[in-house]
C-alpha cells in the first residue's frame, strides 16, 4: 500500500484504553492545529468500535477547540441507544483535560426501502482534468508560510478540480465547485472503513466554497477560517479508492460565518453521501 495511505490508515485506528474509551495520535498536515477531518474520522472509529452488525448512516459534530497535533486525543463514547434497528452514540474528544470536539452518530441495520436521488452534475471525467493535488512550485514559493506548509504536504488522496483555482488573482465566482477525488492506492473492502475515510476527506473544500463570491486571495492572508460544525449522511455503499465527485455549493454567508453543503457521487452517478458545514470566515483587522 502507498506509504501515505498506510499512515492514514494507522492514524484512523485507535488504541482501546478501557470500555468506551479510546486514544488516537495525530499528524502535522501543515496547519496550525489538528486537521478537522482527522478528528471526524477518529471519532467515527471510536463510535463504530462499540457497535456490531450496523453501519453508520449519519453524524453531526461540533468543533469546540483547536486540537494540538503534538499530544494524543482521548475519545469517550456514550452508548446512548441500541434499539431494534438503530444504535446511537455520542463521542467527546478530549485533549489537555478539555473537550475539543463532540459528535453524535447513528447506525442502522442494513435494510431495503424506497429508492430515489437527484442526478449527478454533468462534469468532465477525472481523466480529462489535470492533477490538482498540489500547486506548482513557483506558486508555492509565493504563498505565506502557513498556507505553503499545508499545500505542499504529500497527501494520500488525488484531487481533480473541475474549476481551477487561481490562487494569485482569484475572481468573484458563483458559490459552487465540483472536485473529483480518490485514494492513491487500494483499500480493504470494508464499508465502515471507506465511510471513515470519507468522513476524513469531507472536511476539504466545503468552507472554501463560501469565499468564492468574494474573490478573497489566500495569498493576501487576510481571512481567518475555521470549521464550527459538520454533518454527514451516508446513503449508499461507496469506495474512496474509486473516483468520487464532490459537488459543493454555498447557499449563504453572513454574520462572519459561511455555510456549505455537498453531494458525493460515485462514477456511476449514484449519490453515496451528503455533507453540510458551517464555519467561521472572519476578515483580519489590520494592525494600526
pTM: 0.91
Residue 219 has pLDDT above 60, yes or no: no
Q: What is the rounded CA–CA span in Å between residue 200 and residue 40?
A: 6
Looking at 48, 106, 216, 227, which residue is catalytic? Answer: 227
218 in the Ramachandran plot: left (φ > 0), alpha (ψ -120 to 50) or beta?
A: alpha
pLDDT tens-digit readout, 145-184: 766 666 677 789 999 999 987 766 778 899 999 999 999 9
To the query of whether residue 227 is one of the catalytic residues in this protein, the response is: yes
Active site residue 4: no
Average pLDDT taken over every residue of the chain: 91
Which cell is 45 given? 472509529
Q: How confident is the model at residue 240 (pLDDT cuts 50, 70, 90)?
A: very high
Q: Residues 26, 87, 250, 277: which is the catalytic one?
A: 277
User: pLDDT value at position 47?
Assistant: 98
Other Cβ atoms within 10 Å of 37 Cβ, number:
20
Q: Which of 38, 203, 241, 250 is catalytic?
A: 203
**What number is the average pLDDT over the span 76-91?**
98
Return the closest-CA partner of residue 126 out of 206, 263, 237, 244.
Answer: 244
Q: Write phi, then psi, for 160 (nearest 5 degrees).
A: -130, 110
Query: What pLDDT band is residue 209 in, cutting at 50, 70 and 90?
Result: very high
Q: Confidence class of residue 104 from pLDDT cuts 50, 70 and 90?
A: very high
Q: Is the pLDDT of residue 246 over 90?
A: yes
All domains in the chain, ordered by first residue? 3-110+131-283 (2.40.160.210)
Query: What is the 8-class DSSP label of residue 248?
Result: E
By percentage, how much of the chain surpasses pLDDT 70? 89
Give the mean model confidence (pLDDT) for residues 263-275: 98
CA–CA dist 263, 288 (Å, integer) = 43
Indicate whether 133 pLDDT > 90: no
pLDDT computed for residue 167 by the predictor:
67
Write down the pLDDT at residue 216.
67
Amino acid at each position: 500500500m502507498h506509504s501515505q495511505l498506510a499512515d492514514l490508515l494507522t492514524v484512523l485506528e485507535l488504541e482501546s484504553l478501557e470500555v468506551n474509551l479510546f486514544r488516537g495520535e495525530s499528524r502535522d498536515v501543515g496547519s496550525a492545529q489538528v486537521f478537522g477531518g482527522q478528528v471526524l474520522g477518529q471519532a467515527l472509529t471510536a463510535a463504530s468500535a462499540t457497535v456490531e452488525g450496523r453501519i453508520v448512516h449519519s453524524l453531526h459534530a461540533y468543533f469546540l477547540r483547536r486540537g494540538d497535533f503534538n499530544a494524543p486525543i482521548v475519545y469517550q463514547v456514550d452508548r446512548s441507544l441500541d434499539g431494534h434497528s438503530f444504535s446511537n452514540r455520542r463521542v467527546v474528544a478530549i485533549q489537555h483535560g478539555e473537550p475539543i470536539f463532540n459528535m453524535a452518530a447513528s447506525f442502522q441495520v442494513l435494510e431495503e426501502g424506497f429508492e430515489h436521488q437527484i442526478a449527478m452534475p454533468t462534469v468532465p471525467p477525472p481523466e480529462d482534468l489535470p492533477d490538482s493535488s498540489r500547486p506548482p512550485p513557483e506558486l508555492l514559493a509565493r504563498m505565506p508560510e502557513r498556507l505553503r506548509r499545508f499545500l505542499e504536504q504529500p497527501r494520500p488522496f488525488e484531487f481533480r478540480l473541475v474549476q481551477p483555482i487561481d490562487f494569485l488573482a482569484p475572481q468573484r465566482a458563483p458559490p459552487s465547485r465540483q472536485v473529483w477525488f480518490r485514494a492513491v492506492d487500494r483499500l480493504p473492502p470494508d464499508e465502515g472503513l471507506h465511510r471513515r475515510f470519507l468522513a476524513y476527506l469531507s472536511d476539504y473544500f466545503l468552507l472554501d466554497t463560501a469565499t468564492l463570491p468574494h474573490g478573497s486571495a489566500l495569498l493576501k492572508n487576510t481571512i481567518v477560517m475555521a470549521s464550527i460544525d459538520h454533518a454527514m449522511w451516508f446513503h449508499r455503499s461507496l469506495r474512496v479508492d474509486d473516483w468520487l465527485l464532490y459537488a459543493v455549493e454555498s447557499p449563504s454567508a453572513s454574520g462572519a460565518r459561511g455555510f456549505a453543503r455537498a453531494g458525493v457521487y460515485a462514477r456511476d452517478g449514484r449519490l453515496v453521501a451528503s455533507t453540510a458545514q458551517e464555519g467561521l470566515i472572519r476578515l483580519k483587522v489590520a494592525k494600526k
